[in-house]
Amino acid sequence: MNERLAESTGHHLLGEAMEQLGDPAAADDEYHMALDLLRDDGVDARLIEVHISYASVLERRSDLAAALGQLKQAASIESGRTSHHAR
C-alpha cells in the first residue's frame, strides 16, 4: 500500500469515527481529505468505495441530495473505468 493510499484510508476511518462521535463537520472534512488524496492518486476502485461510504453517511443524516451527488460521482468513475476496458 503506498503512502497516499494509507493516508486516505486513515482519513476515511477518521471520517467514520467522527460521524459516530457526533461531529458531522469533522467527518465531512475527513471524507473530503480522503477523496482528494484518492482522486490525486488515481486509485479508482478505492475512490468509488469511499464515495459510496460517504453517501451512506449522508443518507443517514437525511442529506439525500448530497448522498445522491456522491453516488453519481462514484457511478461516473465506474463508467469511465468500464468504457476504458471495453476499448
Whole-number pLDDT of residue 29: 98
Q: In this model, does residue 85 exceed pLDDT 60?
A: no
Helix (H/G/I), strand (E/B), else coil: 70: helix
Please give the C-alpha separations between residue 82 and each of 34, 44, 64, 76, 86, in angstroms, as whole numbers: 23, 11, 26, 10, 6
Q: What are the domain boundaries of the chain?
A: 3-86
CATH architecture of 3-86: Alpha Horseshoe (1.25)
- Torsion over CA: 37, 9, 79, 57 (sign): negative
Q: Extract the C-alpha cell encoding 37.
A: 488524496
pTM of structure:
0.88
Q: In this model, does residue 15 exceed pLDDT 70?
A: yes
The 10s digit of each residue's pLDDT in 23-64 is 999 999 999 999 999 998 878 999 999 999 999 999 999 999
Q: Extract the C-alpha cell encoding 8.
A: 486516505
